[in-house]
């Protein structure tokens, strides 16, 4: 490996905004609320999949393709919104994205056929895909590198909490009232968009002037010779993560209410157990990334792979399934550090664009439901879900090949290392 510096790059703390501690905390609390609503909106495509399938008369492949449409929209949205945020006002872009996905989630109530479902999910993904990189670009400018992992873990708590409540709410409203969950996520998101616009201050343009003066779009700088291979590997790694998650978690409620023969309330409870573990894991892996470095968290992917295999092999005994699902939830969120880490790997004026690499992996995951549905049709859902274990293991290997940005002594952040 050789050290290679991208011109004008720095991942240090010199560009952290000079705001009062209380103001930073209040802004971060807004981001927590936005993350909760983002998680609610995003995961309706998985948690409500069996009900969408029954309501619209969809096949397994058609039901899975709703996620593909959402993922395709997220890919486009991440690329566009990340660059807009780096060139213009990150606050306005984030508010617009939240307003967009809140409104489109509400439109899900009116979906009446398969083409409408694909369109609604694509547009929903378009807005949601941009919210992650833009949110990251805001909070990494508010807090120092030595605590960004724990902040990312806290944001993961908001995301996971939304899925827990979504699963529990599904158990309360039952199969007949599942459309109500669109209202429960959409209306608060519209209110949150207004709060973000009025309560987060405009970010100084100095952070984006460098990108605005270059001839290329911000994304072009991520493919300069010095970091091109790193960028491609990072995108592949995130793609494998999405594929693995979709292969197992995406079919989870379908598997539990189908081959395992459990009712919707029990399936929702098992989802809640997984994401209860995810909440705890967010704190653990966020702390670990700040203590041992960003690459340390790759360990979580290998443990998650083993947990998936155990889950499929285990008998239908609820205490056992809860325990294994809890372990899976703890380990799967090891990637909480990816937002800050991706931002640290590239210059400050590219932070939103660099963080959008997280969603570039949807190029791979776009095919996940289609591939896993084909496997499930031919070999059964357990085989399709086991593909997630292999995908997570490959992602972990690629992660270990990437640069480290955090050195605990003095919290010195070196330039990116091209592998």
pLDDT digits (tens, 9 = 90+) for 163-206: 778 878 888 887 678 889 999 999 999 999 999 888 887 765 54
> Which stretches of the chain score pLDDT less than 50?
1-14, 206-213, 409-419
- Determine phi and psi for 10, rounding to 5 degrees: -165, 135
- Beta-carbon contacts of 139 under 8 Å, excluding residues fewer than 6 positions away, are 27, 28, 31, 148, 151, 155
Report which secondary-structure segment, H or E, holds 102. Answer: helix 90-107
Residue 16: the pLDDT is: 58
Residue 209 corresponds to which tokens in the numbers above? 């002037």
H-helix segments, 214-298: 218-221, 228-248, 252-257, 264-292
Return the sign of the alpha-carbon dihedral for residues 395, 398, 400, 402: negative
Report which secondary-structure segment, H or E, holds 327. Answer: helix 318-332
Distances from the Cα of 385 to the Cα of 84, 245, 368, 379, 397, angstroms: 37, 9, 11, 11, 20
Residue 407: the pLDDT is: 66
Q: How far apart are CA 137 and CA 115, in angstroms?
A: 34
Residue 392: the pLDDT is: 96
H-helix segments, 20-89: 21-47, 49-56, 60-87
Span 44-69, pLDDT tens digits: 988 888 888 888 988 877 887 888 88
Residue 190 corresponds to which tokens in the numbers above? 């519209």
Residue 91: the pLDDT is: 85
CB 349 within 8 A of CB 209: yes
Residue 214: the pLDDT is: 52
Q: How far apart are CA 186 and CA 396, in angstroms?
A: 35
């Amino acid at each position: 490996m050789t050290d290679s510096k991208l011109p004008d790059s720095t991942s240090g703390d010199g560009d952290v905004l000079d705001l009062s501690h209380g103001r930073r905390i209040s802004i971060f609390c807004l981001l927590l609320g936005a993350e909760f609503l983002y998680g609610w909106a995003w995961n309706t495509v998985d948690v409500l999949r069996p009900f969408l399938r029954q309501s619209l008369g969809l096949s397994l492949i058609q039901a899975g393709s709703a996620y593909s449409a959402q993922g395709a929209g997220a890919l486009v949205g991440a690329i566009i919104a990340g660059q807009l945020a780096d060139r213009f006002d990150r606050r306005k872009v984030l508010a617009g994205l939240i307003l967009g996905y809140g409104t489109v989630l509400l439109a899900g109530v009116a979906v009446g056929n398969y083409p409408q479902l694909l369109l609604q999910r694509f547009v929903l993904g378009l807005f949601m895909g941009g919210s992650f990189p833009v949110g990251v670009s805001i909070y990494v400018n508010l807090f120092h590198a030595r605590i960004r992992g724990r902040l990312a873990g806290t944001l993961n708590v908001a995301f996971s909490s939304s899925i827990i409540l979504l699963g529990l709410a599904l158990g309360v409203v039952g199969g007949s009232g599942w459309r109500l969950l669109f209202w429960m996520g959409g209306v608060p998101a519209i209110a949150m968009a207004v709060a973000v616009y009025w309560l987060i201050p405009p970010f100084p343009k100095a952070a984006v002037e460098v990108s605005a003066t270059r001839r290329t779009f911000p994304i072009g700088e991520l493919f300069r010779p010095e970091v091109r291979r790193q960028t491609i590997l990072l995108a592949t790694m995130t793609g494998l993560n999405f594929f693995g998650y979709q292969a197992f978690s995406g079919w989870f409620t379908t598997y539990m209410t189908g081959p395992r023969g459990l009712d919707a309330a029990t399936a929702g409870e098992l989802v809640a157990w997984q994401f209860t573990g995810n909440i705890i894991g967010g704190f653990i892996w966020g702390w670990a990334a700040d203590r041992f470095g960003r690459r340390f968290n790759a360990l979580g992917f290998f443990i998650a792979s083993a947990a998936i295999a155990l889950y499929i092999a285990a008998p239908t005994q609820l205490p056992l399934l809860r325990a294994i699902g809890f372990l899976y939830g703890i380990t799967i969120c090891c990637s909480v550090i990816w937002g800050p880490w991706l931002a640290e790997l590239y210059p400050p004026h590219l932070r939103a664009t660099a963080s959008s690499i997280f969603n570039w992996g949807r190029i791979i995951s776009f095919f996940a439901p289609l591939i896993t549905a084909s496997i499930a049709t031919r070999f059964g859902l357990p085989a399709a879900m086991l593909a997630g274990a292999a995908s997570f293991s490959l992602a972990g290997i690629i992660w270990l090949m990437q640069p480290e940005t955090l050195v605990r002594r003095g919290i010195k952040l070196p330039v990116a290392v091209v592998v």
